Structure 1
Amino acid sequence: MGKATDYSSKKQEWEQEAETTAKRFPERKEHFQTSSDIPIERLHLPEHATDDYLTKLGFPGQYPYTRGIQPTMYRSRYWTMRQYAGFGSAKETNQRFRYLLEQGQTGLSVAFDLPTQIGYDSDDLMAEGEVGKVGVAIDSLKDMELLFDNIPLDKVSTSMTINAPASVLLCMYIAVGEKQGISADKLTGTIQNDILKEYIARGTYIYPPKPSMRLITNIFEYCQRQLPRFNTISISGYHIREAGSTAVQEIAFTLANGIAYVEAALASGLDIDTFAPRLAFFFNAHNQFFEEVAKFRAARRIWARTMKERYKAKNPKSWKLRFHTQTGGSTLTAQQADNNIVRVTLQALSAIMGGTQSLHTNSKDEALSLPTEESARIALRTQQILANESGAADTVDPLGGSYYVEYLTDEIETRAMEYIEKIDQLGGAVQAVEDGYMQREIHHAAYETQKKIEADEEIIVGLNQFVQEEEAQPELMKVDEQLEADQIRSLHEVRNGRDQELVNQCLANLKKAAADEKVNLMPYILEAVRAYTTVGEICNVLREQFGEYTGI
């Protein structure tokens, strides 16, 4: 710490000068702080930088991975540009997928409609009015075949945002690969499969926590043997942040959930180094640029230490936190929608500077509707400009060493670890969910943020400052109302054309297997999917066996 005292007198002189200036030109606020209430000092100096470089930072591609999980990062290969898409029918979404791939997208990301997400077929009363509205409607293997028509699954990586019925949709993906002549071990991608954040923030759960955790560890075990290149879970902070959490809460609660999945997998008999390398994460990128960069760096360091020190993982791949980022949907405004292009660019750059492995950039009109083809193209072009024109991808961890960024990284790590230790004391993430602890913390943070916006303490351009009285209405994407009837008719055709006796036998086999907690359900679900058993039929059998979760 000798160097810190070399400039102490100079620092005092500067502070006196700054105070004099501040009296003549008052600062905008009495206190500056990040969204997580971390104080922002007037100037951050070397005293905020780490005094133990190798322990806290190290080198990119080396433990504790603060500076990134690859030695060369984007100098070797850009992040995967994986635009989230899905609406209406499988045929319509297939057309959007192929359009995006033609425009230079390098991976697919599937949005499913609400009935699919909560395990209902399109003709179920619970699905009425929601078919194809917020994503693509998938009822049976036929829809999945249409969704990936003329898209070679051995050449494209696919991410699927599905949770409670994740095992069913993954089996459908495997079955489509089989029909294309592609074995399961050649498939690459990620299944979200993160049920804990559904209880915390999003709400598309079906079963209670215990059987849900069983389904998740069944997927871990099955993919370890059959889909070695597929990421078995995307542990998601994105929706936690969308629900109103701070940046600190986002990584703390996400990593606490990750710890719960590790514990469940270990309890089921899996070895840490057989499943941990396929765990992936999914984070949000908001507007406070430097806090977001520091958040990603802190998350990597916490996870590396957790896996190496707490769980004694031996494989370095088990220590690496790999993550996808999506820009912040909740930050977009319906007012002056073109401003959202600027917000998304800023957020995307923070993810790149923070070392993301893949990225989705939101479209400017998503506060109003599903994105139009034009706005989806602009969102993709935003990534391509950042990759090819900004220079941000030309060096590894370009903000590493910034006194301010290192200070924020340390503060976020410290505060996140306090949350994780509190959750451990409560009995782990599952117990904390059932007690409502994380939910309450998020609600409080969201309330405090809203108060600041309404008091004009937090400026949202176009919303509470720089407002336009009259705005032109942009052209919006609309899902054809005829879609629901067409989807139901297609579903009935599948039911009428399949071998119903085989379907009944598959469902009976699944029901029997579900009654034995030691049985892995994936082979039984795959058997049912191949027979064109529907999502709703499979989920209903599991509902009968497991019951339904109704909240705390």
Structure 2
Amino acid sequence: MNDTTSLPRKPLYTAADLEGVPWLDTGPGEYPYLRGVHASMYTGRPWTIRQYAGYADPAASNLAYRRALEAGAMGLSVAFDLPTHRGYDSDHADIAADVGVAGVAIDSVDDMARLFEGVALDRVSVSMTMSGAVLPVLAAFIVAAQEAGVDAAQLRGTIQNDILKEFMVRNTYIFAPEPSMRIVTDVVRYVLEHMPHFNAMSISGYHIQEAGADGVLELALALANAREYVRRLIGSGVDVDRVGRQLSFFFAVGRDFFGEIAKLRAARVLWAELARSLGARDPRAMQLRMHCQTAGSTLTARRAQNNIVRTTVEAIAAVFGSTQSLHTNAWDEALSLPGEDAATLARDTQLILQHEMGLCDVVDPWAGSYLMEALTARTVEAVRATLAQIDAQGGVIAAIESGWVAARVHEGAARIQAQTDAGERAVIGVNRFRAPHDDESESLDVDARKVRSLQVDRLRRLRASRDPRRVRAALERLAEVARSGEGNLLAATIDAMHARATIGECTSALEQIWPRWSAPARADRGAWARARASDAAWEGAKDAVANWRRTRGRAPRIVLLKLGQDGHDRGVRVVAAALADAGFETEIGPLFVTPAQAAQWAASRSPDIVGVSTLAGAHLSLVPALIEALRAADVEAPVVVGGIVARADHARLAAHGVAAQFGPDTPLDGIVRDLLRATRRAATTPS
């Protein structure tokens, strides 16, 4: 069995494997759309090349978008910075380090206008990955387009608007689940009424797989979320065919080449069945339209140029799975934000596949394959079984709230990392065929202080030029719509944006009714230990911890922190679980905290070591601030950092006092030994 798969494989498939497999005689464009949603597929029109990008301030991102369109991109996908995702203006004191770092900073309609200056919004499809602050962000987009002469009815694209996925894995939520679901349904209702060419939701499996789920769990959870959304909308009086026509899906395509093709084919079958069971009769409502992205989790920091091959093969799998649009990752994204040359190569990869390799010449070339048809049918069966397990939990929201979803995803992440560290899951250049040196690469360096300074100045000028009474009235109306349940939240937010309210002010108005919500990060013990049972390197690491414990009379104590608005917690949860299995006493701090807040929390735990997980690029501001705050709180424990840190930043972090740094490819047994060494060095260093 290939260790990358979620379903067992055998080395040879024959005609006997097709016995009992349905749909073999259906064609593309025919229910249940196994072979594609259109009869001609890419022979009539190739997939849309849609690169996900955004950084710094709107002017910088606008330049990147215009260059991408000139170079062959056919659609834009906007990456917003974390403060925007979480509904903060750039001048909010708690989020200063994150402004413009992991995406573009948007505070107002004027920012949105700058972002799309010179882009024909009535012709270019725009996808926005936004769920938490979906109301003010989508409202700002609509108003900016209207003021540029493009009516909402002419806009083409997609708003993600998938909040359940945020509660499962990505954590860029703002409000609790129930008010968040109210926001979701109001957005859909508005889009259905006013924006006929715009997808009201993009239901994401991508982030679920990136967090550790295999393809079956990814697909099951995405479909369970879609089912919950559609049921809510039907219950509020919306016609199921209208909903289905303006939904899309978003899937990851990772290293399980055959399995990912089968997953995408199975997704169309399952959605067609599910939509029909919910009452859909319009073929367009039963056709699952998808965007795909190559997997960020398969990118490696060591021998990073190998990622070019990984991404290319993953892109081919997405094409063979008949995606409608595709983003290919840049090869250097495990090192830092992608450089311009790497991003251009990622886009050119798709152009080569479309124009040089003949992949658009044949509709569903895998049709009739013994392997592919059997694997597709088995994937359908496995997803149905997982959906039944979700139903047994009381539905997807109950499964989220009970921790069932988090436990399943976390177990997968721990198993993948353990298999990689043990060498059972081959990663060329990391645990097999390692080269004596790493690649150097260009990286994108965003000056967060400069970006924030620009944004703060724009906010100051905006607030000085607008009518404060009009803004106040619009925000009070938005809060009243939330309080009363009458009226549409997106319509009220559009009125506030017309008055020149900001993203943060709209969010604050809603916070009067629905306080910000936060869930604790959990790490489930056992998954790591089970995957590394009897492994010599892991047993040696556990012995080292046991020796430390015998010497000190207790277990080593580590606290693990996320700083700022970085809610990506796959890595920190896996590390916490593995260290607990090794014998550490571990605890994960709360999400979305400032360095000062994190230091106070850590000080109350009396740690032997403090670990910081960073994936969002703000480490040069946040980690030194944490170290200063720990010193002020009389915490003398060494600080270590793990995650994505550009090589150029390693020396700077070390100069600030970071005791050890771990890249995304570092085996956990090596991390254990380095942590113990750091505690011993700290014990022998004079204070």
Please classify the TM superposition score into its range, dividing by the shorter chain length. Answer: over 0.9
Q: How does 1:274-353 map to 2 (within 5 A)?
A: 274-308=242-276, 310-353=277-320
Of residues 57-66 and 358-367 in structure 1, the stretch that sits farther from structure 2 once superposed is 57-66
1:50 offset after TM fit, Å?
Answer: 4.9
Work out the CA distance in 2 between the residues paired with 1:124 and 1:425: 43
Query: How far does the alpha carbon of each residue in 1:342-370 deviate from its partner, in whole angstroms, 9 at most, with x for none?
Result: 00100000000000000000001111111
Query: How far does the alpha carbon of each residue in 1:39-75 deviate from its partner, in whole angstroms, 9 at most, with x for none?
Result: 211201111125455x466110010011110000000
Work out the CA distance in 2 between the residues paired with 1:538 and 1:85: 25
Corresponding position of 2:145: 177
Work out the CA distance in 2 between the residues paired with 1:101 and 1:237: 27
Corresponding position of 1:48: 17
Given candidates 199, 202, 214, the residue that maps to 1:246 is 214
Contact 1:50-1:406 within 8 A present in 2 as well: no
Work out the CA distance in 2 between the residues paired with 1:435 and 1:184: 40
1:37 offset after TM fit, Å?
Answer: 3.7
Q: How does 1:443-462 map to 2 (within 5 A)?
A: 443-462=410-429
Contact 1:282-1:324 within 8 A present in 2 as well: yes
| Matching of residue 35 in structure 1 with residue 1 in structure 2 | no
Given candidates 451, 462, 466, the residue that maps to 1:483 is 451
Query: How far does the alpha carbon of each residue in 1:214-261 deviate from its partner, in whole angstroms, 9 at most, with x for none?
Result: 111111111111001100010000000110111111101111111111
Work out the CA distance in 1 between the residues paired with 2:432 and 2:13: 29
Contact 2:252-2:292 within 8 A present in 1 as well: yes
Contact 1:370-1:476 within 8 A present in 2 as well: yes
Contact 1:392-1:398 within 8 A present in 2 as well: no
Query: How far does the alpha carbon of each residue in 1:5-30 deviate from its partner, in whole angstroms, 9 at most, with x for none?
Result: xxxxxxxxxxxxxxxxxxxxxxxxxx
| Matching of residue 417 in structure 1 with residue 391 in structure 2 | no
Given candidates 229, 235, 240, the residue that maps to 1:261 is 229
In the alignment, residue 381 of structure 2 is paired with which amino acid? T
Work out the CA distance in 2 between the residues paired with 1:253 and 1:540: 31
Corresponding position of 1:148: 116
In the alignment, residue 476 of structure 1 is paired with which amino acid? S
Q: 1:93 to 1:41 in 2, by over 3 A?
A: same
Root-mean-square deviation over aligned CA pairs: 1.2
Contact 1:498-1:531 within 8 A present in 2 as well: yes
Work out the CA distance in 2 between the residues paired with 1:130 and 1:443: 26
Contact 2:209-2:218 within 8 A present in 1 as well: yes
In the alignment, residue 488 of structure 1 is paired with which amino acid? V
Corresponding position of 1:466: 433
Q: How many residues align?
A: 519
| Matching of residue 232 in structure 1 with residue 232 in structure 2 | no
In the alignment, residue 66 of structure 1 is paired with which amino acid? L
1:312 offset after TM fit, Å?
Answer: 2.1
Q: 1:52 to 1:411 in 2, by over 3 A?
A: closer
In the alignment, residue 323 of structure 2 is paired with which amino acid? T
Q: Runs of 5+ in structure 1 lacking a partner?
A: 1-31
| Matching of residue 139 in structure 1 with residue 133 in structure 2 | no
Corresponding position of 2:657: none
Given candidates 344, 349, 368, the residue that maps to 1:401 is 368
Work out the CA distance in 2 between the residues paired with 1:153 and 1:508: 31
Per the normalisation by structure 2, the TM-score is 0.74
Work out the CA distance in 2 between the residues paired with 1:37 and 1:158: 33
In the alignment, residue 430 of structure 1 is paired with which amino acid? I
Corresponding position of 1:25: none
Of residues 143-152 and 36-45 in structure 1, the stretch that sits farther from structure 2 once superposed is 36-45
Given candidates 356, 359, 362, the residue that maps to 2:323 is 356
In the alignment, residue 308 of structure 2 is paired with which amino acid? I
Q: 1:440 to 1:484 in 2, by over 3 A?
A: same
Q: 1:472 to 1:301 in 2, by over 3 A?
A: closer
| Matching of residue 214 in structure 1 with residue 217 in structure 2 | no
Q: Which has the higher contact order (CA 8 A, sep 6+)?
A: 1
Work out the CA distance in 2 between the residues paired with 1:334 and 1:471: 8
Contact 1:152-1:180 within 8 A present in 2 as well: no
1:548 offset after TM fit, Å?
Answer: 2.1
Percent identity (aligned): 41
1:33 offset after TM fit, Å?
Answer: 3.7
Corresponding position of 1:9: none
Q: Flag as ranges the 4+ runs of structure 1 deviating above 6 A.
A: none
Contact 1:120-1:126 within 8 A present in 2 as well: no
1:432 offset after TM fit, Å?
Answer: 1.1
Query: How far does the alpha carbon of each residue in 1:185-232 deviate from its partner, in whole angstroms, 9 at most, with x for none?
Result: 110000011000101010100011111111111111111110011000
Contact 1:281-1:324 within 8 A present in 2 as well: yes
| Matching of residue 369 in structure 1 with residue 369 in structure 2 | no
Corresponding position of 2:352: 385
Corresponding position of 2:664: none
